[in-house]
Structures are given as structure tokens and as C-alpha cells.
Amino acid sequence: MQAADLAAQFNLTVVAGKKGLERTVSGGHCGDLLSEVMANAPVGCVWLTIQVHQNIIAVALLKEMAAIILTGGNRPDEETMAKADAEKIPVMVSDQRTYGLAGQLYSAGVV
Amino acid sequence: MSSLKKSFNVRCRDFIHAGEASISVQQLLKQMHIDPVLIRRIAICGYEGEMNVVMHGGDGIYCVEINTDRIVLDISDKGPGIADIAKAMEKGFSTASDEYREMGFGAGMGLPNMKKNADEMIVESEPGCGTRVRMSFIIKQSTPT
């Protein structure tokens, strides 16, 4: 599954990093503590978080993530969107809470 | 292969550029076809060290030295230093401000993450004299890439 498929299938709004939508999604991770994400997020994952500041893009790059989904109606900072565009890291937003969206992704085979 | 050294300035509270040294090193190691698993370990250690400088350290320098048999990260800063290094190494211990905690930092996992992922790690610090963290990573020649 590509990041673009994820957005379409789960009704996610892509707000930045659209040039990276061909990235392959090979897993998932939920977390808001950046050190925990650095320690445990798998390569190629989609990351569900409520953190919106620009340093999430550095984390996504270093962990070679496929995409970031901001849950709970959170929206990225301007700086975050600019960096996501520059680094081609897709950032999507959802009004759903992390738990519910993660459950849907898991049921669809994003494990 | 002769030794390759690079260094990057890291500025206190510069969240615009925070992480860029780690990303640059990650890209360099990929170009050199270093084992991807080793690169990921170095990325974790480098990022944690870099963010410690950004949040706590005052200005600092992030150095990487790439040798045939090992890679060394040497991250030093001019910050307030660590009063109790053993305490700072404990999982969950943090002196991060509420501002940084709200950003998802300050979980007290940084130094333990670094210790776990480095083959060797030395922390030198005194209150008022800054902090220096050196981490070594052994390159296993037989490791598949």
C-alpha cells in the first residue's frame, strides 16, 4: 500500500508533502513521545501522533517513515508543512482519535 | 579507507534546524553503503544527542568520525552540565521544562536510548562546564548490507 492509497481509503486529508505520496507503507506506529518513537517506530511505518511541530519531520526522516497522520483534529504548524514539502514526507490529518484510526488501519492490514 | 571526519554546529533552542546534523550523517552513511541496521542505531543516538544540545546544552558541536572498523559520534556542548550522570542515565529521569514535555521531549529516554544503541558510550560532564558524549559503533565486516 502506498501513502496515497492510505489517504484515499481512510478519508485522510493530505496537507503537506504530497510529492512523497508514492512512499510504501509497511507498518504503523502510534506515539507522542519523540524518544519512544525514535526507539520503536519501524522503518516504512505510518506514524499517528498529536504532535504538530516541525521536529516530527526530522523524526520521520530519520526513521524512514512513509507518512505522518495527525489525529484528533490536530493541524500542523506552518513550519511543519514547509519542511514536509521540502523533504517529501506526506502529512495527513484526521478528526478521528488515534485509537480508533489505528484500529481501522490495523484491520485493513497495516500491521 | 582513511578516516573521514565531519562536524556540525548545533544551536540551543534552534528547532528550525534541530535534527539536521543527524539527517546529514544518516545520508552520508547511506552513500557509503554502511549496514542499514547500524545506520538506524546511529540515527537514534545522534538525534537524541543533538536534541539534548538543542534543549539543554547551550550551543554545541556534533562530530562524526568514520573509520574502517568503527564510527564515532562526539557531541559536546557549552551548557550547564549534568550534576549526577548516573541519575541522568536512569530511564524516566528528565530535567526538561514543561514546554519541551508538551512537544513530546523530556520522557527521560534519551540517554538510555543512546546507551542501548551504541557499542560504547562515555559521558563526561560537570556542572558549569558543559557535557561531552562520545559513542562508538563497531562496523562488522561480515554484516550483510
ipTM of the complex: 0.91
User: How many C-beta atoms surround the C-beta of residue A18 within 10 A?
Assistant: 15
Expressed as residue numbers, the domain containing A12 is 3-107
Number of domains in chain B: 1
B23 contact residues in A (CB cutoff 8 A):
58, 61-62
CATH code for the domain of B59: 3.30.565.10
- Would B144 be classed as within a structural domain? no
pTM of the full predicted structure? 0.94
Beta carbon pairs, A and B, within 8 Å: 62
Would you state the cell numbers that stand for residue A96, as one nine-digit string? Answer: 478521528
pLDDT per residue, tens digit, chain B (145 aa), is: 579 999 999 999 999 999 999 999 999 999 999 999 999 999 999 999 999 999 987 899 999 999 999 999 999 999 999 999 999 999 999 999 999 999 999 899 999 999 999 999 999 999 999 999 999 999 987 655 5
- Cα dihedral sign for B24, B29, B30, B36? negative
Expressed as residue numbers, the domain containing B59 is 4-138
Convert A51-89 to b/e letters by CB count within 10 Å (16 or more is b).
bbbbbbbbbbbbbbbbbbbbbbeeebeeebbebbbebeb
Number of domains in chain A: 1
Give the nearest partner residue to B23 out of A35, A58, A79, using CB atoms.
Answer: A58
Could you identify the residue written with the cell 533552542?
A: B13
